[in-house]
Amino acid sequence: MKRQTVAERLEQVRERMDAACERSGRSPKEITLIAVTKGFPPDVVREAIAAGIADIGENRVQEAQAKRSELSDLPARVSHHMLGHLQTNKVRAVLDLFDIIHSVDSLHLAEAISRRASTPFPVFLEVNAAAEPSKFGFAPEALPDEFNTISTFPNLDVRGLMTVAPITEDTESVRPVFRQLRDCADGLGLSELSMGMTNDFEVAIEEGATHVRIGRALFGERSLP
């Protein structure tokens, strides 16, 4: 069987995004599609950009560093998103490599970014909306007080909230998770929501996602560990 190209997969994903927007009365222009290239080599990143992708997401600092050394000629229109858990000792490297961080999951990390950034750096606050013990993020009930503190830090531009929903075949079961994140954002006066991945991005869009993080639907199974 002929391998589907990234461009073909992207067209299919766009069609699904458009349908989700139509069902929820939204415009596709409201949604940023982040292509998650974790586990894929630089040539796949190039293929994605050639297909029209403008936003690239990575989960690991070391992997991103290795790829970027081979991708120094990428067009300026490409934005780089840090999606994975971030340790404070990697903050300086992340500020050099990425344009936005989606995974600020603690006061300690927020303060470290603020201290090392030279200008207001765009971030999302990660919320453990499903209260999963294995996940990082602020607890929804603690978020208002934590946000008030973070709002006083210089050089942080808090754009919105991010969550990772439980992985399940029943995508309807995660709708309350996305709805809770939207309610949290509304309560804080934030308008951007980073939520939804390959298995659940349509539900996330219906519930207000402004950024969806998609890997497998665009690239298939990862070729690297």
Q: Is residue 224 part of a domain?
A: no
CATH for 131: 3.20.20.10
- The pTM score is 0.95
The stretch 156-177 carries a mean pLDDT of 94
At 2 the pLDDT is 63
pLDDT at residue 15, as a whole number:
98
Pair of tokens at residue 6 = 């990234």
For residues 95-108, average pLDDT: 97
Task: Give me the mean pLDDT over the 181-210 stretch.
Answer: 97
| Residue 159 backbone dihedrals phi, psi, to 5 degrees | -85, -30
Nearest-5° angle of CA 108, CA 32, CA 104? Answer: 5
Residue 1 lies in a domain: no
Residue 117 inside a domain? The answer is yes
Confidence of residue 200 (pLDDT cuts 50, 70, 90): very high
Count of structural domains, the chain: 1
Alpha-carbon distances, residue 79 vs 15, 25, 34, 54, 207 (angstroms): 22, 27, 9, 6, 24
pLDDT at 1 over 60: no
Do the domain assignments include residue 109? yes
Mean pLDDT of 80-90: 96
* Contact in structure between 44 and 6 (CB atoms under 8 Å): yes
Let me know if 72 is exposed, middle or buried by CB neighbors in 10 A (0-12, 13-18, 19+). Answer: exposed
Percent of the chain with pLDDT over 90: 87
First to last CA, the chain: 24
Residue 225 lies in a domain: no
pLDDT one-digit tens code per residue, 55-84: 999 999 999 999 988 998 888 899 999 999
Domain that holds residue 33: 6-219
Residue 189 in domain:
yes
Quick check: is 176 in a domain?
Answer: yes
The whole-number average pLDDT for the span 197-224 is 92
